[in-house]
């Protein structure tokens, strides 16, 4: 399974979405910027796309009104360890109220992995961040066992972007 993501303004991406009627696409926005997400077995249905292989998935990507993209740049030597850690994740997020979907995404042409989660709304995501399940899922962070303390894993700091569903 693959995920393809393209960025642009809402009007432009709405037109792309409407032209690809046979595809399952998710259009979301953040201010003046929008993102169009396509999940399929093949290639992107639009010219400019960041493409990823789905390493792990749960839930339906088309559900949820709030998307969180945790963008994590990983060195080539750190990829194997990073992927092992995420494949062994606690899997407690799926039981969280308001959770819709998660995709662990390996980049096809860059160094930046994406952990994409979809939520009913922003409040559901914030509740997850403040939950005991979140604390448990991230309990090794900042410790000697945490991947964040391993040398040569991350090429630069991670960053988060969030989007709301476009009606």
- pLDDT-based confidence at residue 146 (cuts at 50, 70, 90): low
- Does residue 117 register a pLDDT over 60? yes
- Does residue 142 register a pLDDT over 60? no
Q: What is the pLDDT of residue 143?
A: 57
Q: Report the mean per-residue pLDDT for the chain.
A: 88
Average pLDDT of span 71-94: 87
- pLDDT-based confidence at residue 93 (cuts at 50, 70, 90): confident
User: CA-CA distances (angstroms) from residue 138 to 61, 84, 129, 134, 135?
Assistant: 23, 15, 10, 6, 5
Average pLDDT of span 115-132: 93
- Does residue 160 register a pLDDT over 80? yes
Average pLDDT of span 40-54: 92
Q: What is the pLDDT of residue 134?
A: 72
SS3 assignment for the chain: CEEEEEEECHHHHHHHHHHCCCCCEEEEEECCEEEEEEEECCCCCCCCCEEEEEEEEEECCCCCCEEEEEEEEECHHHHHHHHHHHHCCCCCHHHCCCEEEEEEEEECCCCEEEEEEEECCHHHHHHHHCCHHHHHHCCCCCCCCCHHHCCCCECCCCEEEEEEECC
CA 76 to chain centre: 20
Q: What is the pLDDT of residue 141?
A: 60
């Amino acid at each position: 399974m693959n995920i393809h993501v393209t960025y642009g303004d809402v009007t432009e991406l709405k037109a792309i979405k409407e032209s690809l009627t046979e595809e399952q696409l998710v259009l979301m926005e953040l201010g003046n910027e929008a993102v169009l997400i396509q999940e399929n077995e093949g290639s992107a249905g639009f010219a400019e796309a960041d493409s990823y292989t789905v390493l792990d998935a749960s839930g339906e990507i088309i559900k949820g009104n709030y998307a969180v993209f945790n963008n994590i740049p990983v060195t080539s030597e750190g990829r194997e360890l990073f992927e092992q850690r995420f494949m062994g994740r606690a899997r407690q997020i799926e039981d969280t109220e308001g959770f819709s979907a998660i995709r662990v995404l390996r980049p096809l042409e860059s160094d930046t992995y994406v952990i994409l989660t979809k939520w009913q709304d922003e409040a559901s995501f914030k509740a997850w961040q403040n939950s005991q399940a979140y604390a448990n899922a991230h309990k090794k962070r900042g410790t000697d066992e945490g991947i964040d303390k391993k040398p040569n894993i991350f090429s630069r700091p991670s960053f988060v972007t969030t989007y709301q569903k476009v009606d």
